[in-house]
Amino acid sequence: MQVKNLVILLSFSAALTACHKNKYQKSDVTGWNYNDKNQGGYQVSKATEQATGPGLVFVQGGTYTMGQTDEDVMGNWDNIPKRVTVPSFYMDRTEVANVHYREYIHWLTRIFPPDEEQGQKVLAAALPDTLVWRSELSYNEPLVEYYFRHPSFNNYPVVGVSWRQAHDFCLWRSDRVNEGILMQKGLIASQNVKSQQAEDNFTTKSYLLGLYTPQPGKGVNSKKNPLRDADGRPRATATMEDGLLQPDYRLPFESEWEYAAYGLINQNPRPSRKEGNRGEELQSNKQIYPWAVNVNGLRDTKHGSWQGQFMANFKRGSGDNAGVAGGLNDRAIYTAEVTAFYPNGFGLYNMAGNVSEWVFDVYRPLSNLDFGSNNDDVAPVRGNVYMTIDKNAQGEAERDSMGRVKMRQVTDAESRNRRNYQRGNVINFLDGDSLSNATYGYGQTTLVSDKSRVYKGGSWNDRAYWLSPGTRRFLEEDQSSSTIGFRCAMDRMGSPEGNKRKTGNFWKSKKQTR
């Protein structure tokens, strides 16, 4: 019996020794231990998949033909077909609703009190323009007064929001999501929410740069706190390397929005989960509408055909926005709820109809021709303005009156020696020169300018032609409309196939024999 106990004890000791030996992950380039205070203390977080942010769905990237898919009845010829590749990304499942935008307004009035001059300016810049509902020969005053604020319209898409306002909403949303993550992890105290005022509020960049120091939460000194400094002590401040914080929410690029609207994942066989088998590429079959699975625009289910049913909220014809009483065709006079109708292949609602949506891009009729054949056919976009931190005379970062880190455009002098770009503002790249053969008389002979932003998808007041994702229109970034709303997107970090997937091809290694 004593021998048996001795064997058990030795086995237990060996197990402890093995665990101790495997406690640290080693560097493949130096052989030193990661997260070991006795070997430099280089902290490396465990590789984790990117969490899906609130309201988002994963859109697996792929290649498709961007641009014209139907007869160009408008004669614009501003969406010339071009094959491009869109990296995987995340997009809002629905359009941003009134209740979501009111949450944003509520936060602004709490941080920037409206009884102060700064608060009045901030609020005026953020509020939707409800007067967009007015029309000289229509009675829309009830919508002017109640559409944005009445609870009956909580889940209807917000309208009257300019591109600039939508862009600012995305910035605010990014900060609130990351602040919420840090509170959930116990790294910052919930009391910080009440103490924030004016420029002294949480933004992700100011937090990472140490310009905003929150009150530590109870989880900082907890044994469950995964954050450690080089000496192995609990760390109060998270970094981007820790994998807790999310990338910024932003407006989707035109190529992303159009790709996501088609929901082309429905077109292909599902790839096998077994290693070695591959799925077909995601390719457009020139379908016209987001809900189509064939060129005729019909969609069948296991319960039978949906032919004849309205799949989007749009204007059927002159004077016909909803049909006849007792049998309304799309069941909406103006907008419909953001979850109305059937989602497309990616699970996205109302990618055609209801409201058109702002996208990030600056409008140019011939942007598709300008996209190059090298890297510009991957994630193509027009509107890049490269930014850097605007440091003071002491070389320090500062915050502006909104609490955001001050940024400035990259200068041409700073870009002079670069091979991949030579200017900080590249909105006009290949625009109007001898290579593109395109010229625009900005502000003189055309409405197109550097402030012209693209919006996509048809609205409740549009004919069916505009429901095709390939169509495009534009409006100045400081203007708004009763037919334009928006949704947000987010970059995808890691594998393009989604969580718990590997990138590239893998084969089991075979032992070499002599």
Contact by Cβ (8 Å): 496, 61: yes
pLDDT band at residue 19 under the 50/70/90 scheme: very low
Residue 242: per-residue pLDDT: 92
Give the whole-angstrom CA distance, residue 195 versus residue 203: 14
Give the whole-angstrom CA distance, residue 359 versus residue 452: 11
Contact by Cβ (8 Å): 344, 352: no
State yes or no: pLDDT of 505 exceeds 80: no
pLDDT band at residue 269 under the 50/70/90 scheme: very low
411 occurs within a structural domain: no
199 occurs within a structural domain: yes
| C-alpha triplet 92, 177, 352: angle, nearest 5° | 10
Lowest mean pLDDT among 2-16, 69-83, 313-327: 2-16
Where helices occur in 275-392 by DSSP H, the ranges are 367-370
Give the whole-angstrom CA distance, residue 360 versus residue 472: 13
Torsion region of 443: left, alpha or beta (phi above 0 gives left; psi -120 to 50 gives alpha): left
* Count of structural domains within the chain: 1
465 occurs within a structural domain: yes
Give the whole-angstrom CA distance, residue 507 versus residue 514: 21
56 occurs within a structural domain: no
The backbone torsions φ and ψ at residue 240, rounded to the nearest 5 degrees and listed phi first, read -65, -30
Q: Give, as one character, the DSSP assignment of residue 46.
A: P
Query: Across the chain, what does the average pLDDT equal?
Result: 83
| Bridge-based pairing state of the strands 356-362 and 484-485 | parallel
For the domain that residue 163 is a member of, what is the CATH number? 3.90.1580.10
pTM: 0.87
Where does residue 306 rank: exposed (0-12), middle (13-18), buried (19+ CB within 10 A)?
middle
Residue type, 149: R
In this structure, the number of other CB atoms found within 10 A of the CB of residue 293 comes to 15
10 occurs within a structural domain: no
- The helix or strand, by DSSP H or E, that contains position 17, with its residue range, turns out to be helix 2-21
Torsion region of 32: left, alpha or beta (phi above 0 gives left; psi -120 to 50 gives alpha): beta
Q: What is the average pLDDT across 148-172? A: 97
Residue 450: per-residue pLDDT: 87
Q: What is the average pLDDT across 13-33? A: 69
Short-list 131, 117, 86, 139, CA closest to 359? 86
Where helices occur in 79-151 by DSSP H, the ranges are 98-111, 117-126, 141-146
Over the stretch 370-402, which tens digit does the pLDDT of each residue have?
Answer: 676 556 889 999 999 999 999 999 999 999 999
Give the whole-angstrom CA distance, residue 312 versus residue 304: 19
pLDDT band at residue 289 under the 50/70/90 scheme: confident
Give the C-alpha distances (Å, rounded to integers) separating 499 from 47, 98, 504.
12, 31, 14
- In the chain, the N- to C-terminal Cα span, in Å, equals 47
Give the whole-angstrom CA distance, residue 27 versus residue 153: 56
Residue 433: per-residue pLDDT: 54
pLDDT band at residue 364 under the 50/70/90 scheme: confident
Q: What is the average pLDDT across 445-468? A: 88
Which domain, by its residues, includes 95?
Answer: 64-383+427-491
Over the stretch 351-360, which tens digit does the pLDDT of each residue have?
Answer: 999 999 999 9
Could you tell me how far CA 254 lies from the centroid of its own chain?
A: 12
196 occurs within a structural domain: yes
Residue 59: per-residue pLDDT: 94
Q: What is the average pLDDT across 141-159? A: 97
Contact by Cβ (8 Å): 445, 318: no
| C-alpha triplet 202, 208, 210: angle, nearest 5° | 80
Q: Is 126 helix (H, G, I), strand (E, B) or coil?
A: helix
Over the stretch 318-330, which tens digit does the pLDDT of each residue have?
Answer: 877 777 786 677 7
Q: Give, as one character, the DSSP assignment of residue 61.
A: -
Give the whole-angstrom CA distance, residue 284 versus residue 509: 37
State yes or no: pLDDT of 438 exceeds 90: no
Contact by Cβ (8 Å): 41, 231: yes
Could you tell me how far CA 238 lies from the centroid of its own chain?
A: 22
Q: What is the average pLDDT across 288-298? A: 60
Q: What is the average pLDDT across 483-508? A: 82
Q: Is 472 helix (H, G, I), strand (E, B) or coil?
A: coil
489 versus 44: which is more confidently predicted?
Answer: 489
Q: What is the average pLDDT across 170-175? A: 97
| DSSP states along 238-263 | --GGGT-SPPPEEPPPHHHHHHHHHT
Contact by Cβ (8 Å): 467, 262: no
502 occurs within a structural domain: no
| C-alpha triplet 116, 119, 125: angle, nearest 5° | 145
162 occurs within a structural domain: yes
